[in-house]
Amino acid sequence: MGILGQVLYFAVHPNQLRSIIKWKMWHEPAYTRDPSKESATLADCFKWLEMTSRSFALVVQELHPELVVPVALFYLVLRGLDTIEDDMTISLEEKEPLLRSFETVLERDGWTYDGNGPHEKDRELLVHFDDVITELQLIDPKYREIIRDITHQMGNGMADYATINSVTTIAEYELYCHYVAGLVGDGLTRFFFVADDGFANPALLSTQPALAESMGRFLQKTNIIRDVREDFDEQRRFWPQEIWARHVARFDDLFERRHRAAALACSSEMVLNALRHVEACLCYMARIEEPRVFTFVAIPQVMAIATLELVFQNPGIFEAGVKISRGDAARLVMEASRDLRSVYAVFKRYVRRMRRKNTPRDPNFVNIGIACGKVEQFIESSYPSRDLKRLARLARDGGRGVVVTDKAEALDGQAKSDVFYLLLAVLGTLFFISAILIGIAYCTGARLDMAAPGELTKRNIFPNKEKILDTQLGNAMGGPPMAHGEL
């Protein structure tokens, strides 16, 4: 989208612009890099991180400083592994043993890999993978051991699926999501647990490991639904045949317009499969005890529920990639940076939107309604809905709800502030568009000089059209201007 397109978009979506402005001006990450104190290889690692995923490069800065570098290196190692798995130009004979032994290269100084195809987007990471290996040797061994263990499990799981380009059963689909995403949730949870100050409830590892698994699977399943067209174009099929075969005869039929109703029903079943992880994700986030770590885990989750609502009943996923807008993303980051109540409110908002989009024509209508209802019921049990203004009035009449009164007043102030910034954004947009239009008119020869100060003082905003015509006619005939009555 060009500059003019963005101006027009924000002109009709001022709330989006307001969110971006607020995020740019007031959001400060928990960790700020100081390149002057970084080694050359660490600076390069952050460069590869921004190259492979700008969004994760921003999210990782929300972490506690102790975890920033280990988590960044963890991501780069797994991204390198994923880059080998995704590259269809690498022969199976070379790919499979490389995936299964990838954890061993983490201890080989100077190891790099240039076997990716020239168009592989993350090729440069593996070409300079020696930077990652160098920095891995410098982090705390407890983090390095976790990275090595998760890499070993994920590499072998990817190798098991390297021989196929499609998934047949739901069980295979769940196992694949475990290898590529569930293990990430497990690894990060172990990071939080072994940190010097202990950033998570120990129960997440000892008695509730499934919660971390759901965190990763929810993100992965949402991405698989969103990227179905891109994967199809690259001859990969991650939607299980056990699901799509209930709706169409061939997987390719999902992308034909004459099968659009069946395709949407199929996508709804995929969404239903992902929704079953939401309650576990909410439970997991409630057990994170360090605010910066909470923000780190919450941001991807609120992005995922917003994306899931976007792809639900959206035929656009079968034609091209879809993604949430920058304004929505900025708003979600700010909401995820507050507290658990705010994050729960985000989930409730998007789940309710899904319920409104749900249609009785969908074979999964009832099950999706039930799944959304369970999520709302879970959130309501944690944070019951209240009319804060009504409770504030009760408090002023003699109740003891001083805190409630303060909260209601804060909400009123926030609403007024939002209106102010909304009006400011609208006025600024109108001024900018007016300046562009006046500039275009001037460049195309508009007689702006006709609006002389003298005419304006006489309140004669529009010049005498007859006088202008007479002047133009006289000039055309080569003589003086003709006055009325002359023949």
- The residues annotated with a catalytic role in the active site are 176, 226, 236, 296
List alpha helices for 276-364, DSSP H.
Answer: 278-286, 291-311, 326-336, 340-357
Residue labelled with tokens 């275009």: 440
Core vs surface per residue 319-349: b (16+ CB within 10 A) or e: eeeeeeebbbbbbbbbbbbeeeeebbbbbbe
Which residues 6+ apart lie within 8 Å of 64 measured at CB? 30, 31, 195, 197, 199, 290, 292, 293
Helix (H) or strand (E) holding 49: helix 40-52
List alpha helices for 92-237, DSSP H.
Answer: 92-100, 102-105, 123-127, 129-136, 141-161, 170-177, 183-194, 203-206, 209-226, 228-233
Distance CA 178, CA 222 (A): 14
Q: Which amino acid, one-letter code, is at 312? A: F
Distance CA 380, CA 351 (A): 13
Count other Cβ atoms within 10 Å, centred on residue 182: 27
CB-CB contact of 311 with 322 (8 Å): yes
Residue labelled with tokens 């032994």: 101
Distance CA 93, CA 74 (A): 26
CB-CB contact of 54 with 131 (8 Å): no
Distance CA 186, CA 137 (A): 22
Which residues 6+ apart lie within 8 Å of 230 measured at CB? 321
Per the DSSP assignment, residues forming a β-bridge with 288 are 200
